[in-house]
Amino acid sequence: MLLLALAIVPLAAQGPRRASLILSGGIVITMDGGHRVLRPGAVAIEGSDIAAVGSPAEIAEGYTGEVIDTTGDIVLPGLVNTHGHAPMVLYRGLADDLALMGWLQKYIFPAEAKTVSPEMVRIGTRLAALEMIQSGTTTFTDMYYFEEEIAAVAREAGLRGVLGETIIKFPAPDARSPAESLARAEAFIGTFRGDPLITPAVAPHSAYTLEKDTLLACRDLAVKYAVPMLVHVAETEDEVKIIREASALTPVGYLESIGFWAPRTVAAHGIWVTDADIAILKARHVGVSHNPESNMKLASGVAPVPKYLAAGVALGLGTDGAASNNDLDMFEAMRQAAFLHKLESRDPRAVPAPAALDLATMGGARVLGLEAQIGSLEPSKRADVIVVGTNRARQTPLYDPVSQLVYATHGDDVKTTIVNGRMLMKDRRVLSLDEPRVLDEARQFSAKVRDAVRP
């Protein structure tokens, strides 16, 4: 007993631990397994990790360090965007009110053929990163070209990314063939494996834009390096028609028949699926990215979200690219997901506010296979945290903070954004990017885009 006492006394004598940062006094929505909401609460951060979550008194007793007073604010996990094409912010508003195939073939593909370059990707990604930081997204998922440029900008901006080099059967801006794209993808994985912020991935575009051998080569590459695979699946009726004519199967059924699914596959959209398809996605542990705004704007259809939730499929939210959304505001994605499925099912309980918030936090983390690292405020998880102000007219009065986040909050209500323990924005001032320069470069490049699509 004496030896035990001697071991304990020095530890007690050490007093409070030193924290890098303490957020104290606000409403803390943890999104942990117990869905705890602390009113008031506090979060202590040590380096890149969350050290503790508790009451202000508990955290003050155990930790010292720089304190940010969040009284009157809501503190929650950073938002997780599970599908997008970051550089395409430079095509925002280029062509609207069109169906997907016409939009792609008449406007987007021609614009990309003339303007996509490493410079375009850097400028576009900086603009996207600025918008995401300002609106509370801390992790984003991306499929595009010159993905190494996107990764470099993400690291510069301080954002967490799951990023995949796009592989498509047509000549692409950064590769003349699928084989060349696969080689680029493998090199990209080799460069960024083990990075604290970047999770490299393989990104086959879709079943209707790739041959079977290439789809399976993508799967093999993802398995070889144990990285995620990102793919568009069952986005439009046209896609279903193309796959059925070629195989007599649904897109999900076809990919199942060829043995396509990797251990961590993210299927973007997943609109035109059958009950049997949902069972396949569940059995293969495929995560689905629901993109309600893009799907509505392009009139692609409505994903069966209530069925996915009932089946236990890992489900998260995405914005898609800003060319078809037209923003990267995940608060808007939450609200539209809740509204869309209430209307579609004629059941106001279909996607309630807590479920919508889960899709944007823990749900997205599960889709990406990162649930052990992000998605909730818990000790030992990465310190990806945002602070939302509630002093605006639309935030007053405040009764239920979860409902307020989903139904009243906009991206510009975010005051502070922290990723991996690094403060990227404080009191609406972005610290990791030069905002005027980012905006100026984007405006200058938009002239090139305009010239590229001018008749």
Q: Any idea what the CATH number is for the domain that residue 66 is in?
A: 2.30.40.10
**Residue 154 within a domain:** yes
Whether residues 412 and 290 share a domain: the answer is: no
Judgement on whether residues 395 and 266 belong to the same structural domain of the protein = no
Nearest to 184 by CA among 218, 140, 230: 218
pLDDT at 453: 79
Q: 218 and 352 share a domain?
A: yes
CA dist 142 and 228 (Å) reads: 12
> CATH number, domain at 358?
3.20.20.140
DSSP 41-104: -EEEEETTEEEEEE-HHHHHHHEES-EEE-TTEEEEEPEEE-S--GGGGGGTTSS-S--HHHHI
- Which pLDDT does position 110 carry in this prediction? 85
Q: What percent of the chain has pLDDT over 90?
A: 91
Q: What pLDDT digit, counting tens, does each position of 234-268 carry?
A: 999 999 999 999 999 999 999 999 999 999 999 99
Lowest mean pLDDT among 102-111, 204-213, 227-236, 249-258: 102-111
CA atoms within 13 A on the CB side of 317: 28
Classify the C-alpha dihedral 365-371-373-375 as positive or negative: positive
434: Cβ contacts below 8 Å, ≥ 6 apart? none
Cα–Cα distance between 136 and 45 in angstroms, integer? Answer: 18
Q: Give a yes or no: residue 447 inside a domain.
A: no
Note whether 413 and 332 are same-domain residues.
no
Is the pLDDT at 12 greater than 90? The verdict is no
For residue 132 the two structure tokens come to 């995401």
Helices of type H across 229-298: 237-247, 251-257, 275-283, 292-297
pLDDT-derived band at 3 (thresholds 50, 70, 90) equals very low
What is residue 14's predicted lDDT score, i.e. its pLDDT?
66
Angle subtended by helix axes 330-345 and 353-360, to nearest 10: 140
Cα 344 to Cα 341: distance, rounded to the nearest angstrom: 5
Residue 8 has pLDDT above 50, yes or no: no
Domain containing 193 equals 79-368
Q: Which long-range contacts (CB under 8 A, 24 or more apart) does 179-185 make?
A: 182/214, 182/217, 182/218, 182/221, 184/147, 185/147, 185/218, 185/221
Q: Quick one: tokens of 230?
A: 């990102």
Same domain, 61 and 122: no
Across 346-363, b (16+ Cβ under 10 Å) vs e yields: eeeebbbbbbbbbbbbbb
Considering the domain architecture, whether residues 53 and 200 belong to the same structural domain is answered as no
**Residue 416: inside a domain, yes or no?**
yes
pLDDT at 10 over 70: no
The model's pLDDT over 413-447, given as tens digits with 9 standing for 90+, comes to 999 999 999 999 999 999 999 999 999 999 999 99
Q: 93 and 192 share a domain?
A: yes
Contact between 325 and 294 (Cβ < 8 Å)? yes
What is the pLDDT, as a whole number, of residue 11? 34
Q: Is the pLDDT of residue 13 over 80?
A: no
Tens digit of pLDDT for each residue in 370-402?
999 999 999 999 999 999 999 999 999 999 999
Grouping H, G, I as helix, E, B as strand and the rest as coil, residue 354 is helix
Q: How large is the angle between the packed helices 435-453 and 118-135, nearest 10 degrees?
A: 130
Looking at the fold, whether 271 and 420 belong to one and the same domain comes out as no
CB 263 within 8 A of CB 240: no
Q: Which helix or strand (DSSP H or E) is residue 18 part of?
A: strand 17-18
Q: Are residues 153 and 297 in the same domain?
A: yes
Report which of residues 11 and 267 the model is more confident about: 267
Query: Do 326 and 241 share a structural domain?
Result: yes
Instruction: Give the CA diameter of the chain.
Output: 87
What is the tally of structural domains in the chain?
2
Domain contains 276: yes
Q: What is the pLDDT of residues 284-339, one digit of tens each?
A: 999 999 999 999 999 999 999 999 999 999 999 999 999 989 999 999 999 999 99
> Is 175 domain-assigned?
yes
Contact 199, 150 (CB under 8 A): no
Is 7 among the domain residues?
A: no
Q: Lowest mean pLDDT: which of 6-15, 32-41, 321-330?
A: 6-15
| 127 and 40 assigned to the same domain | no
What does the mean pLDDT of the chain come to?
Answer: 95
- Asked if residue 146 and residue 33 are part of one domain, the reply reads no
- State the pLDDT at residue 7: 33
**Residue 455 scores a pLDDT above 80:** no
pLDDT of residue 107: 85
Distance between CA atoms of residues 74 and 246, nearest Å: 51
Q: In the structure encoding, which two tokens stand for residue 278, read together? A: 């949902």
Please report whether residue 56 resides in a domain: yes
Q: How far is CA 275 from CA 141, 278, 282, 306, in A?
A: 27, 5, 11, 12
Q: Does a structural domain hold residue 437?
A: no
Would you say 42 and 17 are in contact if contact means Cβ atoms under 8 Å apart? Answer: no
